[in-house]
């Protein structure tokens, strides 16, 4: 991949770069053919006007607690109810495993209540602890369960309805809404027969989809963006380099992307998203950065993104909840649309520029120039096995990047890897003499190792044999097969599906 650049195309839309291609995406409309967005929901081909009016007015009456019209207090109480219900659901999800009734749930209790084989039970326990165990002590307390917020959609359709208040008294009555809704339906029902045909609906279908996407978008807890700051968004799946520091626990695969901030006078609000755990290393004119938001789908204990930022003071860094906003690595798929709608709903503004790619080495902002290390060979670290390092370079052509954990701004624990991920970790272990290759993707562990190489799933999976006298290391085995000759047992997906 050569250097690629995409330029913003003006205030009417935003530029999205994938590789070197620029795709214009027009800012979302607040209405469809003049119909307010709040009245679009419910319009479908084949719908009769009576159905539509009953649905719209029924929504208002369900929230109007006093029967005097929808007002701001009704909307705020509706949002409070949803928050309370989510808190109760979180507590219930944890307390069903509290078998001794002490309002604390341990790993042992989680594994006891899980189903499946032992390794599957361990995975389920890990998942629950990662979501709820905020302090990482292996125990979920009632307070931790109650304080864990889910990524959720903020109710925006009610705000839109209240904006329809015709006389500005702060209340929207059922009669007022009925009149506006009937007018909206008739705008689409061109032949006036009281039913929306496929042809009539097709005229507004595209804009209706955009409006619904925006309304259903998750609202993330992001710091407000200054009106004067340019909002730049970048999405990636993973990266071409591995960080020597891991975020959120030794089982994560933490990648690294260099972000160069180009010289300029304007301030930047930068949103950086990824699938994998990621460290974003900022360089260049970093004084331009007003704020950086980093998110990853991979989470750390407590539910925060397993992400970190180097090169900015902590006050300018916001580590988002995992998956909010979600990652995307293409501009033309549903994931990108949902993520951008979420950012728009959270910050109440459109991005000025959006860039995306699958696995970069670095990006320059705000231009969006991308670089790759695919045409280079990473430097072999001292003490690593050269043959296995060449295999690792297929996945991470930019190699291993040294990162000081103390310099990483993150919500989660940042530490040096005990054992690096997958083939890179095998190269490290083979170079130290702790592991030797028997044949193909089968390896024998010769002496105790500090941890399993993380991220041994899919194409990275191998068979690791622990002979008698060598204890099986802790850590996630991914899809690999672990042969324990001490117990004469094997476990892992690869054992059941030999290659």
Q: Considering only CA atoms, which of 201, 159, 67, 144 is closest in space to residue 348?
A: 159
Residue 389 to residues 52, 73, 359, 469, 499: CA-CA distances in angstroms?
Answer: 63, 62, 19, 28, 22
Q: Which secondary-structure segment (H or E) carries 278?
A: strand 277-284
Domain membership of residue 101 (yes or no) is yes
- Are 350 and 401 in the same domain? no
Which pLDDT score, from 0 to 100, does residue 150 have? 57
Domain boundary among 323, 343, 371: 371
- Are 305 and 247 in the same domain? yes
Tell me the chain's radius of gyration from C-alpha atoms. Answer: 26
Q: What pairs with residue 395 in β-bridges?
A: none
- Are 362 and 407 in the same domain? no
CA 325 vs. chain centroid, Å, equals: 5
Give the whole-angstrom CA distance, residue 78 versus residue 55: 18
- Are 356 and 413 in the same domain? no
Q: What pairs with residue 416 in β-bridges?
A: 245
Which pLDDT score, from 0 to 100, does residue 497 have? 52
- Are 230 and 104 in the same domain? no
Domain boundary among 318, 340, 371: 371
Which pLDDT score, from 0 to 100, does residue 310 have? 98
Residue 134 phi, psi dihedral angles, 5° rounding: -65, -35
- Are 363 and 454 in the same domain? no
Domain membership of residue 35 (yes or no) is no
Domain membership of residue 162 (yes or no) is no
Which pLDDT score, from 0 to 100, does residue 494 have? 86
Domain membership of residue 376 (yes or no) is no
- Are 130 and 106 in the same domain? yes
Q: Which residues contact 17 (CB under 8 A, 6 or more apart)?
A: 4, 5, 6, 23, 331, 354, 355, 356, 357, 368, 370
Which pLDDT score, from 0 to 100, does residue 205 have? 86
Which pLDDT score, from 0 to 100, does residue 496 have? 64
Predicted model pTM: 0.73
Domain membership of residue 392 (yes or no) is yes
CATH number of 93's domain: 1.10.238.10
Domain membership of residue 238 (yes or no) is yes
Domain membership of residue 414 (yes or no) is yes
Length of the chain: 499
- Are 367 and 399 in the same domain? no
Domain membership of residue 449 (yes or no) is yes
Domain count, the chain: 3
In the block, residue with structure tokens 């993973």: 238
One pLDDT digit (tens) per residue for the chain, 499 residues? 333 323 232 222 344 444 433 333 333 334 556 788 888 877 899 999 999 999 999 989 999 999 999 999 999 999 899 889 888 988 998 899 999 999 999 989 998 888 776 667 777 888 888 788 877 788 999 888 887 755 454 555 688 889 899 999 999 999 999 999 999 999 999 999 999 999 999 988 887 877 777 777 888 999 999 989 999 999 999 999 999 999 999 999 999 999 999 999 999 999 999 999 999 999 999 999 999 999 999 999 888 999 999 999 999 999 999 999 999 999 777 888 889 999 998 998 989 999 999 999 999 999 999 999 988 889 999 999 999 999 999 999 999 999 999 999 999 999 999 999 999 999 999 999 999 999 999 999 999 999 999 999 899 999 999 999 999 999 988 899 999 999 999 988 888 654 4
- Are 23 and 82 in the same domain? no
Q: What pairs with residue 172 in β-bridges?
A: 70
- Are 250 and 357 in the same domain? yes
Q: Which two tokens stand for residue 229?
A: 């700051």
- Are 316 and 395 in the same domain? no
Quote the domain boundaries for residue 486.
Answer: 386-496
Which pLDDT score, from 0 to 100, does residue 187 have? 92
Domain boundary among 129, 152, 175: 152
Q: Which secondary-structure segment (H or E) carries 13?
A: strand 13-18
- Are 354 and 412 in the same domain? no
């Amino acid at each position: 991949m050569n250097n690629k650049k995409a330029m913003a195309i003006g205030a009417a839309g935003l530029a999205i770069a994938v590789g070197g291609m620029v795709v214009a995406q027009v800012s979302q409309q607040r209405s469809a053919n003049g119909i307010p967005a709040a009245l679009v929901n419910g319009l479908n081909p084949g719908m009769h006007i009576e159905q539509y009016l009953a649905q719209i007015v029924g929504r208002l009456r369900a929230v109007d607690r006093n029967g005097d019209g929808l007002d701001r207090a009704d909307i705020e109480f509706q949002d409070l109810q949803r928050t309370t219900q989510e808190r109760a659901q979180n507590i219930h999800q944890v307390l069903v495993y509290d078998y001794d009734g002490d309002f604390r749930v341990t790993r042992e209790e989680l594994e006891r209540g899980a189903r499946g084989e032992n390794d599957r039970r361990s995975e389920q326990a890990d998942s629950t602890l990662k979501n709820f165990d905020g302090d990482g002590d292996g125990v979920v307390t009632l307070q931790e369960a109650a304080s864990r917020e889910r990524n959720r959609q903020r109710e925006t359709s009610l705000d839109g309805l209240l904006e329809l208040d015709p006389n500005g008294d702060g209340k929207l009555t059922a009669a007022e809404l009925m009149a506006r809704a009937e007018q909206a339906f008739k705008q689409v029902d061109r032949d006036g027969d009281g039913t929306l045909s496929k042809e009539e609906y097709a005229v507004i279908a595209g804009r209706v989809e955009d409006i619904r996407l925006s309304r259903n978008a998750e609202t993330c807890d992001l710091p407000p963006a200054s009106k004067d700051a340019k909002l730049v968004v970048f999405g990636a799946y993973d990266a071409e380099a591995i960080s020597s520091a891991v975020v959120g626990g030794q089982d994560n695969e933490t990648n690294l992307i260099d972000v160069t901030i180009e010289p300029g006078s304007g301030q930047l609000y930068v949103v950086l998203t990824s699938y994998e755990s990621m460290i974003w290393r900022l360089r260049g004119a970093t004084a331009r950065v007003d704020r950086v938001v980093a998110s990853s789908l991979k989470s750390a204990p407590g539910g925060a993104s397993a992400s970190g930022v180097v090169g900015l003071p902590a006050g300018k860094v916001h580590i988002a909840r995992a998956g909010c906003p979600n990652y995307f690595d293409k501009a033309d798929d549903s994931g990108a649309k949902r993520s951008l709608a979420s950012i728009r709903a959270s910050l109440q503004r459109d991005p000025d520029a959006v860039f995306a790619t699958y696995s970069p080495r670095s990006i320059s902002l705000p231009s969006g120039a991308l670089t790759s290390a695919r045409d280079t060979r990473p430097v072999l670290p001292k003490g690593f096995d050269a043959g296995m390092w060449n295999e690792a370079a297929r996945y991470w052509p930019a190699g291993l990047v040294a990162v000081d954990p103390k310099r990483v701004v993150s919500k989660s624990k940042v530490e040096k890897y005990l054992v690096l991920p997958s083939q890179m970790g095998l190269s490290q272990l083979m170079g130290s003499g702790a592991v030797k290759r028997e044949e193909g993707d089968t390896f024998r562990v010769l002496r105790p190792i500090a941890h399993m190489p993380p991220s041994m799933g899919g194409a990275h999976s191998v068979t690791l044999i622990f002979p008698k006298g060598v204890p099986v290391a802790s850590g996630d085995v991914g899809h690999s097969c672990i042969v324990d000759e001490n117990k004469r047992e094997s476990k892992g997906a690869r054992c059941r599906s030999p290659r």
